[in-house]
Structure 1
Amino acid sequence: MSLSRRKTLALIGGGCIVAATATAGYAVTRRPNQALRPWALAGQYAEPRRNALSFALLAPNPHNRQPWVVDLSQDDEVTLFCDPDRVLPETDPFSRQITIGLGCFLEVMRMAAAQDGYRVDLDLFPEGEDPTTLDHRPIARARFTNDPNQRPDPLFAHVMNRRSLKEPFDTTRAVLPTELATLRAAATATTFGGSIKPDDIAIYRELSHEALRIEIETPATYKESVDLFRIGHREVDANPDGIDFTGPMFETLHMTGLFTRDVALDTTSMAYTGGLDAVFANTDTAMGHIWLVTKTNSRRDQIAAGADWLRLNLAATDIGLGMQPLSQALQEYPEMAELYHEIHNRLAPNGGTVQMFARIGYGPQVAPSPRWPLEAKLVQT
Structure 2
Amino acid sequence: MQRRNFMKVLGGGVILAAGAGAGFAMTRTPSRALAPWQRAGGSTYADPRMRALSYAILAPNPHNRQPWQVELQGEDTVVLTVDLDRLLPHTDPFSRQITIGLGCFLELMVMAAAQTGHRVEIEPFPQGADSERLTTAPVAIARFVQDPGIRPDPLFAHVMARRSNKEPFDTARAVPDAALAAIVASARHGGRLGGTNDAAEVASWRTLTETALQIEIDTPHTYKESVDLFRIGKAEVNANPDGIDFSGPMFETLALFGQFNRELALDRTSAGFKQGVDAVLENTRTAMAHVWMVTDGNSRADQIAAGADWLRANLAATSQGIGFQPLSQALQEFPEMAELYRDVHARLAPNGGTVQMLVRLGYGPGVPVSPRWPLEAKLREA
Tell whether the structures are fold-level matches, with TM greater than 0.5.
Answer: yes
Task: Indicate yes or no: 2:63 matched with 1:63.
Answer: yes
CA 1:379 to 1:348, structure 2 compared with 1: closer, same or farther past 3 Å?
A: farther
Which 10-residue stretch deviates more, 251-260 or 63-72?
Answer: 251-260
**Mapped partners of 1:290, 1:344: distance in 2:** 14
Deviates most, 51-60 or 188-197:
188-197
**Superposition pairs of residues 85-234 of structure 1, within 5 angstroms:** 85-188=85-188, 189-234=190-235
Q: Secondary structure at the match of 1:225?
A: helix
The answer for the alignment partner of 1:41 in structure 2 is 39
Aligned to 1:258: 259
Q: Is the 8 A contact 2:33 2:238 kept in 1?
A: yes
**Superposition deviation, residue 31 in structure 1:** 7.2
Q: 1:74, CA displacement in angstroms?
A: 2.8
Q: Is the 8 A contact 1:236 1:370 kept in 2?
A: yes
1:135-159 CA-partner distances (Å, limit 9, x unpaired): 1001000000111111100100000
Give the aligned partner of residue 16 of structure 2.
none
Offset of residue 257 of structure 1:
1.2
Instruction: Name the aligned partner's letter for residue 100 of structure 2.
Output: I
Contact 1:72–1:379 (CA under 8 A) maintained in structure 2: no
Instruction: Determine if contact 2:29/2:238 at 8 Å carries over to the other structure.
Output: no
SS in 2 for 1:356: strand
Identify if the C-alpha distance between structure 1 residues 257 and 42 changes in structure 2 by more than 3 Å, giving closer, same or farther.
same
- The answer to whether the 8 Å contact 1:115/1:152 transfers is yes
Kindly provide the amino acid, as one letter, of the partner of residue 196 in structure 2: S
Alignment CA distance shift 1:163-1:263 (3 Å): same
| 1:16 match | none
Equivalent residue, structure 1, for 2:19: none
- Hey, what's the Cα distance between the residues in 2 that align with 1:263 and 1:232? 15
Q: Are 1:270 and 2:271 matched, yes or no?
A: yes
Q: Give distance in 1, aligned partners of 2:381 and 2:120.
A: 23
Deviations 1:266-287 (A, max 9, x none): 0011111001110111111111
CA contact (8 A) 2:184 2:291 kept: no
Provide the residue aligned with 1:370 in structure 2: 373
Aligned positions of 1:2-17 closer than 5 A: none
Aligned length: 350
Q: Which residue in the other structure is 1:361 paired with?
A: 362
Tell me, in whole angstroms, the C-alpha distance in 1 between the residues paired with 2:381 and 2:94.
28
Q: What percentage of aligned pairs have identical amino acids?
A: 63
Q: Which runs of 5+ in 2 are unaligned?
A: 1-27
One-letter code aligned to 1:40: Q
Inter-partner Cα distance in structure 2 for 1:232 and 1:262 = 15
CA distance in 1, matches of 2:250, 2:284: 23
Partner of 2:85, secondary structure, is: helix
Separation in structure 1 between the aligned mates of residue 233 and residue 312 of structure 2, nearest angstrom: 31
- Cα distance in 2, alignment partners of residues 194 and 102 from structure 1: 24
Aligned to 1:32: 30
Cα distance in 2 for residues equivalent to 1:166 and 1:105: 21
Contact kept? 1:91, 1:331, Cα under 8 Å: yes
1:38 and 1:374 in contact (8 A); partners too: no
Check the 8 A contact 1:171/1:285 in 2, yes or no: yes
Structure 1 residue 52: deviation in Å? 0.1
Amino acid corresponding to residue 247 of structure 2 in structure 1: T
* SS of structure 1 residue aligned to 2:194: strand
Q: Distance in 2 between matches of 1:368 and 1:146?
A: 33
Task: Give 1:245 shift.
Answer: 1.1
TM-score normalised according to structure 2 size: 0.90
User: Contact 1:71–1:379 (CA<8 Å) still a contact in 2?
Assistant: no
Question: 1:242 and 2:243 equivalent?
Answer: yes
Following TM superposition, by how much is the alpha carbon of 1:380 offset from its aligned partner in structure 2, in angstroms?
3.9
Given that 1:37 and 1:373 are in contact with CA atoms closer than 8 Å, whether structure 2 keeps it comes out as no
Cα offset for 1:36? 1.5
Distance 2:381 2:212 in 1: 41
Deviates more, 1:38-47 or 1:309-318: 38-47
Q: Matches of 2:381 and 2:331 in 1, distance apart?
A: 36
Find the residue that maps to 2:308 and give its secondary structure: helix
SS of the residue 1:70 aligns to: strand
Is the 2:166–2:283 Cα contact (8 Å) retained in structure 1? yes
* Alignment deviations for residues 30-50 of structure 1 (CA, whole Å, 9 cap, x no partner): 972453111111011221100
Alpha-carbon RMSD? 1.3
- Counting helix residues as a fraction of each chain, which structure ranks higher? 1
Distance 2:380 2:281 in 1: 40
Q: Which residue of 2 aligns with 1:350?
A: 351
Which secondary structure does the structure 1 equivalent of 2:168 belong to? coil
Note the C-alpha offset of 1:338.
0.3
SS where residue 72 of structure 1 aligns? strand
**Over 3 Å off, 4+ runs:** none
TM-superposed CA distance for 1:198, in Å, is: 1.2
Which residue type is aligned with residue 37 of structure 1?
A
- Asked if 2 retains the 8 angstrom alpha-carbon contact of 1:35 and 1:372, the reply is no
Residue in 2 that maps onto 1:18 = none
For residues 316-366 of structure 1, what are the alpha-carbon distances to aligned partners after superposition, in whole Å with 9 as ceiling and x for unaligned? 111101111001000000000000000110111111100010111111322
- Structure 1 residue 224 displacement after superposition: 0.2
